[in-house]
Structure 1
Amino acid sequence: MEFNLSPVLAFLALAVVVSHAALSPEQYWNYVLPNTPMPKAVKVLLHPDFMENKGTSVNVGGGGVNVNTGKGKPGGGTSVNVGGKGGGVSVNTGHKGKPVYVNPGGFIYNYAATETQVHDDPNVALFFLEKDMHPRATMTLHFTENTETATFLPRQIAQKIPFSSDKLPEILKKFSVKPGSAEAEIMKNTIKECEQPQIQGEDKYCATSLESMIDFSTSKIGKNAYAISTEVQKQTPEQKYTIAAGVHKMGGDKSVVCHKQNYAYAVFYCHKSETTRAYMVHLEGADGTKAKAVAICHTDTSAWNPKHLAFQVLKVEPGTIPICHFLPQDHIVWIPK
């Protein structure tokens, strides 16, 4: 089950609120960042056909937007797992009568990981210690496929859609999502994560459009910036990767990292910290698959939740040693040039 919302259809349905002179998200990118190539993670969310068509289905009418999330498929249950992409929630409704489990993603600092997440979350493999990032080192990793096809809305439209817990009933009605459903639980938890207070040393913001993500990121690191995402040659199962020569540090100690959330349209949880280092790491899988992976290393974790996924996986204490993680393919890091 996925949230699939075509920005083109949504734009047509709500075009009356958009000025003819308004720039499209892509035009805004080129206007603010004229010399910054657009990473694949952004292209996919602007142009869904850039990747293989996943069967998006959207019905617009009656003042609402109905997102077809694939109900009625064989198997009897609904399963949503965006933890492998750091999307912030994992939902499994199973068969009728079974409970719904909602787990926060591993890339938000103030959340404690559940025991289930520690054992089953694909993000577990993405955490490592900075001292272990060197040529010829090996790591067992799984870079999951970009299967979440909810795309960007133009800012002029996104700004007119509420995004707060106290407006949840109105939001669910607008997207024809049934209260109490798995979809509603996902949307509720994404909003809740965005409303959580930032931790010490963190500057956070949830971007509900590409334009707002650009504005937040450039306000923190300047307009002379570039954006980059992890790219994997092809999809593979979990396997051993070897770090190739040329681990490259990017942008000093200042960056903005934006994590894709699971929602009816593209929402990114962005945070900036002065205690991070970003690297581009070239990897080669056991089957020959090559990857250019973005690694983020946190040099001060003292304010993180002591039960954060990283501490449980790496068996270290908060604030003791730099902790790193690779970014999934649909996350973005902004670096000053």
Structure 2
Amino acid sequence: MTLHFSKPTGEEEAFLPRHLADSMPFSSNKLPEIYSEFSVKPGSSEAEAIKKTIQECEDTERQGEERFCATSLESMVDFSTSMLGKDATAVSTETDSTERKVYRIEAVTKLSSDKPVVACHKQEYAYPVFYCHKTDTTVAYRVSLVGAGGSKADAVAVCHRDTSEWNPKHLAFQVLKVKPGSVPVCHYLPENHIVWVSKN
């Protein structure tokens, strides 16, 4: 299959220290303060991205899912280990190419057995924020891929076994031409997203 693993553009931002992240306003009713804090012009594309991220973080949880927006590395670790236990480990996609290539699968390893996983997705924000969610119906895999010219990717793929609670307008349903809850939906994760799995 033809895949494109995008790397983060520019320098990778570091998490804010927890004490600093916790002192920052982070709610939809504090948007004017947030815009002022980061010199963001209301109505700009950056302001809209901040607003969207906060709205997603405040959105109602789906059935069978627990969610949390991590504004620091410590808060991400705390949430993930509280969901999976102290032996939880983080995995992410690693690749040596950012070009669109045809890859073939060399090996697939199941990472998460039948236990829940926590997936953390990088959000657009003024500093690193990850939208993390624990689901009981998602399975994670490590997929070794070899591309044209010998390039390699050690990719993380997740399969959502129950999509019945998803928005019917979700892009996956449009692409696959299926309805919520009808089939599992699997996808690869970009490099700056993280999946936490339990070792046991």
TM-score if structure 1 supplies the norm length? 0.57
Report the CA distance between 1:225 and its aligned residue: 1.2
Aligned match of 2:83 in 220, 226, 236?
A: 220
The answer (yes or no) to whether the contact 2:140–2:156 under 8 Å persists in 1 is yes
The answer (yes or no) to whether the contact 1:240–1:286 under 8 Å persists in 2 is yes
Asked if residue 265 in structure 1 is aligned to residue 127 in structure 2, the reply is: yes
Query: Distance between the aligned counterparts of 1:183 and 1:327, measured in 2?
Result: 24
The answer (yes or no) to whether the contact 1:150–1:264 under 8 Å persists in 2 is no
Aligned to 1:107: none
The alignment's C-alpha RMSD in Å is 1.1
Aligned to 2:109: 248
Q: Which moved more, 1:264-273 or 1:281-290?
A: 281-290
1:102-145 deviation line (CA, Å, top 9, x unaligned): xxxxxxxxxxxxxxxxxxxxxxxxxxxxxxxxxxxxx1111112
Aligned to 1:301: 163
SS in 2 for 1:243: strand
The answer (yes or no) to whether the contact 1:150–1:263 under 8 Å persists in 2 is no
Asked if residue 207 in structure 1 is aligned to residue 85 in structure 2, the reply is: no
Query: Distance between the aligned counterparts of 2:84 and 2:56, measured in 1?
Result: 24
SS in 2 for 1:262: coil
2:132 is aligned with what amino acid?
A: C
1:185 is aligned with what amino acid?
A: E
Report the CA distance between 1:306 and its aligned residue: 1.2
The answer (yes or no) to whether the contact 2:4–2:98 under 8 Å persists in 1 is no
SS in 2 for 1:300: coil
Which structure 1 segments of 5+ residues have no match? 1-138
The answer (yes or no) to whether the contact 1:194–1:205 under 8 Å persists in 2 is yes
Alignment of 1:180-195 (within 5 A): 180-195=43-58
Larger radius of gyration: 1
Aligned to 1:327: 189
1:285-331 deviation line (CA, Å, top 9, x unaligned): 12321000000001111111111111111122211221101010000
Query: Distance between the aligned counterparts of 1:228 and 1:185, measured in 2?
Result: 30
SS in 2 for 1:287: helix
The answer (yes or no) to whether the contact 2:5–2:97 under 8 Å persists in 1 is no
How many positions carry a matched residue from both structures?
Answer: 197
Report the CA distance between 1:229 and its aligned residue: 0.4
TM-score if structure 2 supplies the norm length? 0.95
Query: Distance between the aligned counterparts of 1:271 and 1:243, measured in 2?
Result: 28
The answer (yes or no) to whether the contact 1:198–1:204 under 8 Å persists in 2 is yes
1:165 is aligned with what amino acid?
A: S
Query: Distance between the aligned counterparts of 2:47 and 2:161, measured in 1?
Result: 36
SS in 1 for 2:150: coil
SS in 1 for 2:86: coil
SS in 1 for 2:149: coil
Query: Distance between the aligned counterparts of 1:259 and 1:178, measured in 2?
Result: 25
Which ranges of 4 or more aligned residues in structure 1 deviate by more than 4 Å? none
Structure showing greater relative contact order (alpha-carbon pairs closer than 8 Å, 6 or more residues apart)? 2
The answer (yes or no) to whether the contact 2:93–2:155 under 8 Å persists in 1 is yes
- Percent identity of the aligned residues? 62
Asked if residue 289 in structure 1 is aligned to residue 178 in structure 2, the reply is: no
